[in-house]
Amino acid sequence: MIGEERLWQVGANAWVVVDDQDVRAERVGQAMVTLGVTDLDEILARLAAHGISHEPVETYSNGVRHVVVLDPDGNSLSLAEAPAGPDLVPMTWLTDTRNVYDAVASRYADETRDLLDRLLHVRAGVVLFADLVRAIGGGPVADVGCGPGHTTALLRELGADAFGIDLSPAMIEIARREHPGARFEIGSMTDLQLADDSLAGVLAWWSLIYIPDEAVPGVLRHFHRVLRPGGVLAVGFHVGDVSKIDTSGDGDQAVQAYVHHRQPSRVADWLREAGFTVEAQHLLNPDEPKPRAILFARRPATPSR
């Protein structure tokens, strides 16, 4: 859900939105479907040739063109076309995620400073992860998607040789300033610049939620590659079956990224396909509107036959 809208991803860069707003109910029977298209003008011309009219085309401040098409039976369809042109750089989900966290870095750091003291079950997951790493003799641990470094700092307090990686330069700047004793690097989990078999543990603490489905298997293969045999992986995420827009900023300065909610069974299947053995699943707040889950997995000490 996005406010009063329902969202489905139907392709790598294709989304369908159904809007339940009452203001449109009389015309569209309680729903408005918006489809992203290219060549909007050509589409409208073809529809007009078949006697299908449309409302005036609107152009938003971000360059998106939007129009509502009305057929003779009174049904309607909302079409939206993203801006195009040689001077415009296409936005990707990776860029969107970085922009969101650059925009909110300072506020996010303040809001999450004591988060692990408030979410004790989540903190327990970090403690268990550190214990699992210690049980295999320790070694370097990467907090991938570390944000302002609060979880990295806790891992170090627990005795782990932890360092942080994050896509957002603004987040890394804060992490380095607030936790000067730790190492923090700008990087992406889609292209980890780490040696094979070099880590005892990887923690992806609510950072995989920004990765679209088609990119998740590749990310997990990176995790598997950099972990040494017997190494530990812990993944935290939101539970659900939808993708939601995360918006930061206002007006022309607003930036958006999609947050993906997934079922633990689906994430577990991806982990197994990447070569991991899934060892434990923790379901947090299952009776609340926003449940969470943590999966603990391991790169097998010996290759499976």
Are residues 216 and 74 part of one domain? no
Would 289 be classed as within a structural domain?
yes
Domain count, the chain: 2
Are residues 272 and 247 part of one domain? yes
The last residue of one of the domains, among 49, 81, 113, is 81
Which pLDDT value is given to residue 60? 64
pLDDT exceeds cutoff 50 at 71: yes
Would 87 be classed as within a structural domain?
no
Are residues 52 and 116 part of one domain? no
Are residues 268 and 122 part of one domain? yes
Task: Tell me the pTM.
Answer: 0.68
Reported as a pLDDT band with limits 50, 70 and 90, residue 27 is very low
pLDDT exceeds cutoff 60 at 195: yes
Are residues 76 and 101 part of one domain? no
Predicted confidence (pLDDT) per residue in 229-254, tens digit? 999 999 999 999 988 776 654 444 45
192 Cβ contact partners less than 8 Å away, ≥ 6 residues apart: 142, 144, 165, 222, 223, 225, 226
CA-to-CA distance for 51 and 218, rounded, in angstroms?
Answer: 47
The last residue of one of the domains, among 81, 103, 120, is 81
**Per-chain mean pLDDT for the chain:** 82
Are residues 29 and 114 part of one domain? no
Range(s) of the domain holding residue 46: 5-81
Which pLDDT value is given to residue 15? 47
Helix (H) or strand (E) holding 108: helix 93-111
Are residues 11 and 74 part of one domain? yes
Would 53 be classed as within a structural domain?
yes
Which pLDDT value is given to residue 59? 78
Predicted confidence (pLDDT) per residue in 104-148, tens digit? 888 888 888 998 889 999 999 999 999 999 999 999 999 999 999
CA-to-CA distance for 233 and 41, rounded, in angstroms?
Answer: 49
Are residues 176 and 73 part of one domain? no
pLDDT exceeds cutoff 80 at 33: no
CA nearest to 64, candidates 25, 106, 36, 89: 36
Would 272 be classed as within a structural domain?
yes
Which pLDDT value is given to residue 43? 82
CA-to-CA distance for 213 and 145, rounded, in angstroms?
Answer: 17
CA nearest to 135, candidates 23, 296, 302: 296
125 Cβ contact partners less than 8 Å away, ≥ 6 residues apart: 234, 236, 282, 294
Are residues 188 and 47 part of one domain? no
Which pLDDT value is given to residue 14? 45
Are residues 148 and 40 part of one domain? no
Are residues 160 and 22 part of one domain? no
**CA 203, 209, 210, 211 torsion: positive or negative?**
positive
Q: The CATH number of the domain where 208 resides is what?
A: 3.40.50.150
Are residues 185 and 110 part of one domain? yes
The last residue of one of the domains, among 32, 47, 81, is 81
